[in-house]
Copies of this chain bind each other. A is one copy, B any other.
Amino acid sequence: MSPHLSSLQNIATRLRIESIRATTASASGHPTTCLSAADLMAALFFADMRFDPKNPQHPEADRLVMSKGHAAPLLYAMWAEAGFIPRERLTDLRLFTSNLEGHPTPRLPFVDVATGSLGQGLAAGVGSALNARRIGSDYRTYVLMGDGETAEGSVWEAAASANFFKLDSLCAILDINALGQSRHTELQHDLETYRVRWSAFGWNVISIDGHDLPQILDAYKKARESKGRPTAILARTLKGKGVSFTEGLPNWHGKPLSKEQMDKAIEELNRRLTTETGGDKSSSGGDKPPGLSIPAPPPARPEPAPMPLTPPAFKLGDMVATREAYGSAIAKLGTADPRVVALDADVKNSTFSEKFEAAHPERFYQFFIAEQVMIGAAMGFAARGAIPFPSTFAAFLTRAADFIRMAAISGVNIKLAGSHAGVSIGEDGPSQMALEDFAMATAQPNFVALYPSDAVSTERLVAEAAAFTGPVYIRTSRPKTPVIYDNNEHFPIGGLKVVRKSDKDVATVIGAGVTLFEALKAHDQLKAKGTSIRVIDLYSVQPIDAASLIDAGRATNGRLITVEDHYISGGLGDAVARAVAPAGLTVHRMAIPEIPRSGKPDDLLDKFGISARHIVNAVTG
């Protein structure tokens, strides 16, 4: 064996040893899934990828997404082998005091997106590869996937998108060890069926023995040479490879070795080191591998600085749907900031992201009707420095709820835009009405949730969302609503607007989106009868301006009434109630109380209890 191969094999063995050692130390984790991928990863990291072991976030470095996140100990061992993590820290795995968590999260600088919910990594890889194109870099993106996770439909969404975008810088490495958590996988070692499926989705497919280093190296080389389409390397492997009593055996998933088993395994692996290199017996090495050096990425090029934005240019009283203002706003933002990209799922003419496409076709990405890969790709974009705005009907963002959950865990800088909120969409019926989107978004404690009511606030909030670092959700509405704010008004995240106020207000009505206008109608009807109410536009649902809400409650007899085009749980009412509870204030919640149905928008607002008439009754009743 050449010194090169012998070094790689030693590295692979050390990765195995460290994966076992760390999981035994933590008495939890998944050693055998690390063992199946160790050869693939040793060859990738130490004989193919270019990166800077001192700066994992280098913008020109090749990326590795560990989609099979339960192989985290392997990933950590790789970065220890590269010198980034002190080797002795690897046994801190899964401790509260360590960032070496059970599944990788971006608390570690070499992790772009959190993994551990299977089937998400390839979608992030699509975003990462598209970002390379955006910045004109030739960095490559690798995704290590388990075989089991290819059962997830999101994988096939990502496969189709990668083909559509001709992402030849993307390489999926499938660790086909044939064993899932609870049983063998559906396809076991049927590499031919895998080949047929990935080929059917337009990929360049290379099938190899995933424990044969020359085959592995050759596959990476061929993947690099493939042009115009992504590559899938199908690697036949054995779970638990390298340890005789785990190799290819079921019932080892998620089970660390006992201390005795570990000693036996390491002894066996150490022999492998001895025999095959004749050299280094140490498994706690840190030796420089002979004949191996990690190629450095080219110098980083800073992103162009964004230009300042001009104020909105709407006229008071003009009728503009917030979804339409959203489209204009991202188009304008895209002109000012080249990091901004827009993604859509075949509804660009409803979300008005088509305005961005018209202005910046090179930064608009069509994902057809595949919301999971759209959000996953946005995560990959965000992790590489872009500011992605993926948009679809808010109802269909629920399709990507698990991606949104993982986006929150990742803390990535994505800006979700959901249109067609609530019953105010009318005739299309409940399947198209988002009535649980705030429940989904605000459940994530680090998500910002915004809900503009007019065109000015929409444009301002889109700019606020872009300027904020972290995940943001923006909800827009279908109906046209009047412009009520001056173009110079500001809408900081975490604020609210008191839009009607007097010294004699008997109650505070809090709305946003279409219900703000119902509240304003109610205000006028009540005023005509001599009753004053305060009206608040709660454009920032999370974070929320608790102090102002408490002030308003105290100034209006403790009467706070929320009215929202959302189900009662997890929406504006709950958010306000949480904010004012410490002051001893309660909230009267008006929301959609049941599964709605088709009808005319105004009829539905009234039938489901959130129209001006109902607000008037709530105030006077």
Contact = CB atoms under 8 A, between A and B. Distances in A.
Interface of A: 26, 28-29, 69, 94-96, 98, 101-103, 105, 107, 114-119, 148-149, 151-157, 160, 164, 180-183, 185-186, 193, 196-197, 199-201, 344, 346-350, 354, 366-373, 395-396, 398-399, 401-402, 405-406, 408-409, 411, 426-432, 435-436, 439-440, 442-446, 542, 567-570, 573-575, 577-578, 581-582, 584-589, 592-595, 597-600, 603-604, 607
Contacts of A409: 430-431, 595
A364 to B, nearest CB: 12
Contacts of A118: 369
A205 to B, nearest CB: 11
List the 7 closest A-B pairs by CB distance, nearest first: A153-B153, A116-B431, A96-B599, A401-B401, A436-B443, A439-B443, A102-B429
26 contacts: A94-B598, A101-B429, A102-B428, A103-B429, A105-B430, A115-B431, A119-B369, A151-B160, A151-B368, A152-B371, A153-B154, A181-B346, A182-B346, A182-B349, A182-B354, A183-B346, A186-B368, A199-B200, A395-B402, A444-B567, A445-B569, A445-B593, A569-B578, A573-B578, A577-B581, A585-B586
Given A432-B102, A440-B440, A443-B439, A347 B181 contact: yes
Contact of A598 (B101, B164, B366): B101
A607 to B, nearest CB: 7
A105 B594 CA distance: 14
Given A102-B429, A148-B346, A156-B156, 15 more contacts: A94-B429, A114-B430, A116-B430, A153-B156, A180-B369, A182-B346, A183-B348, A197-B197, A395-B402, A398-B401, A401-B401, A409-B595, A439-B570, A444-B595, A569-B578
B153 A445 contact: no
Contacts of A193: 200
B439 A116 contact: no
A432 B164 CA distance: 32
A473 B569 CA distance: 15
B408 A402 contact: no
Contacts of A149: 369
Nearest to A399: B402
A101, A436, A582: which has the most chain B beta carbons within 10 Å?
A436
A103 B431 contact: yes
Given A160-B151, A201-B197, A368-B151, A427 B102 contact: yes
A102, A103, A373: which has the most chain B beta carbons within 10 Å?
A102
Contacts of A152: 153, 157, 369-371, 399
Given A370-B151, A428-B103, A581-B586, A439 B598 contact: no
B589 A581 contact: yes
Contacts of A156: 153, 156
A155 B370 CA distance: 10
Nearest to A148: B369
Contacts of A408: 595
Contact of A439 (B183, B371, B440, B578): B440
A442 B598 contact: no
A186 B604 CA distance: 36
Nearest to A432: B116
A592 B446 CA distance: 12
B95 A598 contact: yes
Contacts of A117: 395-396, 399, 431
A587 to B, nearest CB: 6
Contacts of A164: 186
A406 B427 contact: no
A368 B180 contact: yes
Contacts of A349: 181-182
A94 B427 contact: yes
